[in-house]
Amino acid sequence: MALYFTSINSGSNGNCYYIGNDDEAVLVDVGLTCKEVETRINRLGLSLKKIKAIFISHEHTDHIKGLSVFAKKYQLPVYISLPTYKSSKLTLIEDNVFTISHLQEIKIGKLNILAFSKFHDAADPYSFTIECNDVRVGVFTDIGAICDRLITQFKTCHAAFLEANYCPNMLANGSYPYFLKRRITSGHGHLSNTQALELFQNHKPAFMTHLLLSHLSKDNNNPVLVEEIFKNVAGETFVQVASRNQETPLFYVNNNNVQKPTYHFNPTEYVPDQLNLFG
């Protein structure tokens, strides 16, 4: 048994990531409306019934917009830190809320989820790895700086969602106000292309098969160029930008380093029903 994974959406307009095996799955963040998450999961041919839990990285709107409705509709447990829950000002079903803490491990069926703290301008932000039978997928976005915790976990992943939020030159020369530029580059904002590339080049494990570049800025990055930069140094690791407007294909990884896609996906065959552009 191995892991399937996809980005339902990735960007300041909404973040949601699906990781699971043949029997159960989890979502990391629900930053789109419940209806839009359902639409995209169904479009991928996935079963909503396999989703057994939701893990929340932090309280910013682009990570929790659809959480209350989705969790209530499907009666799902929500794993969230207490400071994050208080800062979110959401109302969740109390019996379905479970707190997380740094280096806590949670078991959902055959999935093992590890939460670890990160640098970001939020109350108590977390990154996650999801593991099944020694195959591991990491969700590493909304990170202000690379730390030993991130490096340690990145080295264990067969696949990862890694933030490459902005090009330093585009941000510096762009139209954002000074305070926002400082926030992004403060060490508690977002990872630049340069920082993400350094992590990838210096710490990518030999067995990493997939890298999905995530949470790209709409205004301060170029997805075509950043994807090419990473592909130039990726070797046999598959690299793709996770879109801010639609889901990615469903990927598959096992401990034999062999991708076994279950179907063919052509994103030109449809137009997304909703884009939720609010950030």
- In which band, very low, low, confident or very high, does the pLDDT at 258 lie, cut at 50, 70 and 90? very low
Task: Judge if pTM exceeds 0.85.
Answer: yes
Q: Which of 203, 138, 184 is nearest to 5 (CA)?
A: 138
**Quick one: what percent of the chain has pLDDT higher than 70?**
91
Q: Give 168: exposed, middle or buried? Use CB within 10 Å, 0-12, 13-18, 19+.
A: middle
Helical packing angle, 193-203 and 223-231, nearest 10°: 20
User: Dmax of the chain from CA atoms?
Assistant: 49
Give the span between the Cα atoms of 72 and 174, in whole angstroms.
Answer: 41
Rounded mean pLDDT of 131-146? Answer: 97
Domain spans of the chain, in order of start: 3-265
Average pLDDT, the chain: 92
Q: What percent of the chain has pLDDT over 90?
A: 90
Select from 122, 208, 217 the least CA-distant residue to 226.
217
Residue in 96, 98, 95 with CA at minimum distance from that of residue 115: 98
| Residue 274: pLDDT over 60 | no
For domain 3-265, say whether CATH 3.60.15.10 is its number: yes
**What is the arithmetic mean of pLDDT over 244-267?**
69
pLDDT tens per residue, range 41-66: 999 999 999 999 999 999 999 999 99
